[in-house]
């Protein structure tokens, strides 16, 4: 373990699922004091086993934290854990900081940031990408929109969490916009990889050998390699649920429509993930679109 620089902020993480749990593990391994809160008692217990302190409510977590990382699923859950009954925001001191990590619409981010700013709470619009393994190693990507002074104040924590930090702007919502653009391409690339390998199988080709060729050729994509290497072995244990990419692809189509932009490939990818969810794959890893396509 590499000791953290002292004094260090007390960090609370609301939502210790795949990504939140990985961030908790990362910080605990580096000597940070971490409190956690999750509606899933098993997820909390996993973090406690690593050295975290469990809190019964978001309010309790916030009262003992200098920084609160929100790593729940969507805007509605974020609103609830920050401003709902037993929410975190009313218990936070002025000058404390909230890091907003869920993928959500920019308008939702702007609204949540406004609520925090009214209470004198600093904010980071901070969507993340890269998956739990990279998060656990501090190698995920963070797309930040925040004031320069806030970034400077919390740089040590941010760089402990991510080796790939991109400061997009100081405008709230730009982190969310960047994440949605990224996820548009992720959805398109994953749908394309699944379709290509389903076709390879139908043509009688070896799926592992075909993927090996693609990985060294013009068709390579990170998400295609990451997901299809699991899919071809029938491993659909969820690291990122199919329902999440359905949500994200629908969000980006909404943002594109508001901007007067026709995301034609995005529409096709979004329809595929929606169909996968309709076919019972919502709670499986998003690599499960391979199963949908190979049976088509």
| 6 lies in some domain | no
Task: Answer whether 129's CB lies under 8 Å from 223's CB.
Answer: no
| 5 lies in some domain | no
- Radius of gyration of the chain from its Cα atoms, rounded to whole angstroms: 20
Instruction: Say yes or no: 181 and 250 in one domain.
Output: yes
| 157 lies in some domain | yes
pTM of the model: 0.91
Give the residue ranges of the chain where pLDDT is below 50: 1-6
DSSP 260: T
Into how many domains does the chain fold?
2
pLDDT for residue 7: 67
Instruction: Say yes or no: 229 and 101 in one domain.
Output: no
Instruction: Say yes or no: 157 and 221 in one domain.
Output: no
Q: How far apart are CA 288 and CA 241, in angstroms?
A: 9
Active-site residue identified among 164, 179, 246, 257: 179
179 is catalytic: yes
pLDDT for residue 34: 98
Domain CATH code at residue 192: 1.10.1040.10
| 25 lies in some domain | yes
DSSP 141: E
- Residue-number span of the structural domain to which 164 is assigned: 11-172
Instruction: Say yes or no: 138 and 193 in one domain.
Output: no
Tell me if residue 143 falls in helix, strand or coil. Answer: strand
3-state secondary structure 210-239: HHHHHHCCCCCCHHHHHHHHHHCCCCCCCC
Strand stretches in the chain, DSSP E? 11-14, 34-37, 53-54, 67-70, 97-100, 122-125, 128-129, 141-145, 164-169
Domain CATH code at residue 40: 3.40.50.720
Q: In Å, what is the CA distance from 128 to each residue of 25, 51, 102?
A: 16, 24, 8
Distance of CA 234 to the CA centre of its chain: 24
Instruction: Say yes or no: 146 and 15 in one domain.
Output: yes
Query: Among the three residues 123, 138, 172, which one is the final residue of a domain in this structure?
Result: 172
Instruction: Say yes or no: 215 and 288 in one domain.
Output: yes
């Amino acid at each position: 373990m590499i000791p953290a620089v002292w004094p260090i902020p007390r960090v609370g993480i609301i939502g210790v699922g795949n990504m939140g749990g990985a961030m908790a593990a990362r910080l605990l391994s580096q000597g940070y004091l971490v409190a956690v809160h999750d509606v899933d008692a098993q997820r909390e217990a996993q973090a406690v086993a690593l050295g975290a302190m469990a809190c019964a409510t978001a309010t309790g977590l916030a009262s003992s934290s200098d920084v609160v990382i929100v790593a729940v699923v969507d805007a509605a859950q974020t609103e609830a854990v920050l401003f709902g009954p037993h929410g975190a925001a009313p218990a936070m001191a002025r000058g404390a900081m909230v890091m907003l990590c869920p993928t959500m619409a920019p308008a939702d981010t702007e609204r949540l940031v406004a609520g925090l700013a009214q209470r004198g709470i600093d904010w980071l619009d901070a969507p993340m990408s890269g998956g739990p393994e990279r998060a656990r190693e501090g190698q995920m990507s963070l797309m930040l929109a925040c004031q320069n002074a806030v970034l400077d104040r919390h740089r040590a924590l941010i760089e402990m969490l991510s080796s790939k930090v991109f400061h997009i702007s100081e405008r709230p919502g730009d982190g969310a916009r960047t994440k949605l653009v990224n996820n548009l391409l992720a959805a398109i690339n994953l749908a394309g990889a699944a379709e290509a390998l389903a076709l390879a199988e139908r043509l009688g080709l070896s799926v592992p050998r075909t993927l090996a060729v693609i990985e060294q050729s013009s068709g390579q994509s990170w998400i295609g390699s990451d997901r299809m290497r699991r899919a071809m072995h029938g491993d659909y244990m969820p690291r990122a649920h199919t329902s999440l990419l359905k949500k994200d692809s629908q969000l980006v189509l909404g943002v594109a429509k508001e901007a007067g932009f026709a995301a034609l490939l995005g529409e096709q990818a979004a329809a595929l993930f929606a169909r996968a969810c309709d076919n019972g794959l919502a709670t499986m890893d998003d690599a499960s679109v391979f199963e949908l396509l190979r049976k088509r």
